[in-house]
Amino acid sequence: MTEVQIWTDGGCRGNPGPGGWAALLIAGANEKTISGAEAQTTNNRMEITAAIRALETLKRPCIAQLYTDSQYLRQGISEWLPNWKARQWRTAARKPVKNEDLWRQLDALNQRHQVTWHWVPAHSGVVNNERVDQLANAAMDTLVR
């Protein structure tokens, strides 16, 4: 199985507001960047979207080390998701899970690949995290001029 390193980031100007997401995929000597933007969204939706789009880019099942600066994303997929599914997509407080549509997509992709989820602190000089932050902001810039 191919091993890939994935770095993701998402952001928003206003929450909700215009948002952007980006991902960097590294497999051996090969690198690929992807990014996009939405006119009206939230920061959390952009963080999840970045991971979805990155995993969708993989053409066959892979072993992925995915790095994010979003605890919401990492904890959501690694810790909270099994309970949400067991409770029919309800939180412990019995409220609907926010961003259920995206969590369902991410769950399916997470099952297709062998993903290990890593958290890195934002804006702390981690080179690849800074790269995807810049790409996500550049994607937002296409909407906000």
Domains of the chain: 2-141 (3.30.420.10)
Q: Give residue 145's pLDDT.
A: 64
Catalytic residue among 9, 19, 38, 76: 9
Catalytic residue among 19, 69, 76, 113: 69
Q: What CA–CA distance (Å, rounded) separates 98 from 22?
A: 21
Partnered with residue 24 across adjacent β-strands are 7, 33
Q: Which residue is listed with tokens 């909700």?
A: 16
2-11 pLDDT, tens digit each: 999 999 999 9
Q: For residue 6, what is the enclosing H or E element?
A: strand 2-12
Respond yes or no: is residue 69 known to be catalytic: yes
Query: CA neighbours within 13 Å on the CB side: how many for 108?
Result: 8
pLDDT per residue rounded down to tens, the chain (145 residues): 899 999 999 999 999 999 999 999 999 999 999 999 999 999 999 999 999 999 999 999 999 999 999 999 999 999 999 999 999 999 999 999 999 999 999 999 999 999 999 999 988 889 999 999 999 999 999 986 6
Q: Give residue 134's pLDDT.
A: 97
Number of CB atoms found within 10 A of residue 29's CB: 5
125-142 pLDDT, tens digit each: 899 999 999 999 999 999
